[in-house]
Amino acid sequence: MPGIPALPWIVPNTPPQHTEVHVFASRFETRTLWGALRFLVRTPAVWRQVGRAPGAHGASLKAQPLRKTFWTLSAWESADALKAFTRSGVHRPASRALAAQMRDAAFASWQTSSDQLPVSWEEAERRLA
């Protein structure tokens, strides 16, 4: 996939071994290049929020701005920890501001063992297809 190299998998909070984690993957396609630029501009602040989010066990992001497509991949202590993240900090206003820019979005979530982290991009893309 040509584009900006994926942000490397970060581990804000190391999960205990052999525990179940909630994995979340998303793909966003913006309507225009302007929408892609707006997505990119908001990314650093959201990325900083992920890095200090309670219950975040890992995250990565891939971007193809010229194709107007972005992917996120994250692992969480629970679905509730993910929900708390999406409803707080800069993520909430960023997602609301970008909603009108979206042409398409896909989401996938599943459970896996903390021993299986980081989840591969191939697995995330398969589940998003």
Q: What is the pLDDT of residues 13-68, one digit of tens each?
A: 999 999 999 999 999 999 999 999 999 999 999 999 999 999 999 999 999 999 99
pTM over 0.75: yes
If 0-12 CB within 10 Å is exposed, 13-18 middle and 19+ buried, where does residue 95 land? Answer: middle
The continuous run of DSSP H or E covering 62 comes out as: strand 56-64
Residue 115: domain span? 4-128
With 70 as the cut, is the pLDDT of residue 77 above it? yes
Q: Identify the CATH number of the domain in which residue 18 sits.
A: 3.30.70.100
Task: Count Cβ neighbours within 10 Å for each residue of 27-65 and write b for 16 or more, e otherwise.
Answer: bbbbeeeebbebbeebbeebbebbeebebbbbbbbbbeb
Number of domains within the chain: 1
Amino acid at position 83, single letter: K
With 70 as the cut, is the pLDDT of residue 98 above it? yes
With 70 as the cut, is the pLDDT of residue 2 above it? no
Q: Which of 64, 45, 77, 56 is nearest to 9 (CA)?
A: 56
Reported as a pLDDT band with limits 50, 70 and 90, residue 96 is very high
Reported as a pLDDT band with limits 50, 70 and 90, residue 94 is very high
